[in-house]
Amino acid sequence: MRKVVLFVLLVFGAFYLTAAETPHLRLLSALEKQMQRAAEKVAPSVVSVYVERDFSQKEGEEIEGWLPGRAAGQGGQYRTRPNAPVSGVIISEDGIIATTRFNVRGKNIKQITVHLPDGRVFEGVRLGYDENTDVALIKIEADGLPALKFFDTTALKVGQFIAVVGRAEDRVSLTLNIGIISALNRISGNCFQHDAQLNYGNAGGAVVDIYGNFLGIASYVSTESPAGQNSGVGFAAPAHKIKERLKEMVAGNRIEKEKVPYIGVVAAEGAEDVKGAVIARVEPNTPAEDAGLKENDVIVEFNGKKIENWDDLRLAIKECKVGQRVKLKAKRTVEGVEKIEEMELTLGARPF
């Protein structure tokens, strides 16, 4: 009898909760269906790419940026790349496939095979790549392919829903990972950040909005956990950046990493109440040292812009170019007397 009463209470409770949450469930169901429709819209253009490698040979190319498989504390060493299919996206009817550079980098590649959703299989040839967005191109000899159209990604918003659509290990099934855009202008302004889960399989897949518009390629994967797994943060090359550099990549060119301006100072901790950027340390053999900046100096003006904190200084430096000559003002206290020092320096290139 007691079990019967408990069962009735559980059924009643479940019915009550379902009835009470109907509006929320309808909303979630609508979002669920919309994401499924978005994935289905781009599915004909999402391909499986298998890269056959000679793992007895080193890849033979310098590894740059955040890539799948880096374990924290390994000093730039990377875990062995899995011998498994990855994802790519058809971006032209005549057989241009975009994927992440990591998927096709290295000199130990024996063959690239592209599996289309309709079952056809083609041998692929690697073209050019962009080190800034981690995007590379593959060419297959085919025509009339269902290419995705580049969406205008110049006005993306933080908090916007996105999905990463890739191909599973069986080369047929879709994978769908949902998240939001969590930051813009990452990786030196070349990518946007999102929290949809990225891994070896879906890296190189299509990033879409809830309407299935093609926003870009799932590229850099942050793997800053001790086990070298996805830390929950991923990056994507926006469609407009890919489009800007498409001709160069199709021509087989390597677009080198943009140089980031650098002065060579380290921020002081616990100095948030001081107006300006307080220097804890000046790195040796840097523009800052050459200009005469010292520990405990407080930068209050840089290239004509008022500096009230380190964010102001970072932004002011970012707006400049490597090799540019700039003026700055720094407060310095000597024997209890505070004075303003005016200096000039030539911006260097960040060495890391």
Q: CA 120, CA 326: separation in Å to the nearest integer? A: 57
Handedness of CA 90, 92, 93, 97 (dihedral sign): negative
Domain boundaries, the chain: 41-255, 261-349
User: How many angstroms from the chain centroid is the CA of residue 216?
Assistant: 10
For 17-69, write each residue's pLDDT tens digit: 555 568 888 888 888 899 999 999 999 999 999 999 887 777 765 544 444 43
Q: How large is the C-alpha radius of gyration of the chain?
A: 25
Q: CA 258, CA 237: separation in Å to the nearest integer? A: 15
* Identity of residue 209: D
The CATH code belonging to domain 41-255 is 2.40.10.120
Q: Which residues contact 243 (CB under 8 A, 6 or more apart)?
A: 150
Q: Each residue's pLDDT tens digit in the chain (352 positions)?
A: 444 444 444 545 555 555 556 888 888 888 889 999 999 999 999 999 999 988 777 776 554 444 443 433 333 434 456 788 999 999 999 999 999 998 898 888 999 999 999 999 999 999 999 999 999 999 999 999 999 999 999 999 999 999 999 999 988 999 999 999 999 988 888 999 999 988 888 999 999 999 999 999 998 765 454 444 455 678 999 999 999 999 999 999 999 888 889 899 998 877 777 889 999 999 999 999 999 999 999 999 999 999 999 989 998 998 899 999 999 999 998 888 889 999 999 999 887 6
Tokens 């891994």 map to which residue? 199
How many CA atoms within 13 Å lie on the side-chain side of 184? 10
The CATH code belonging to domain 261-349 is 2.30.42.10
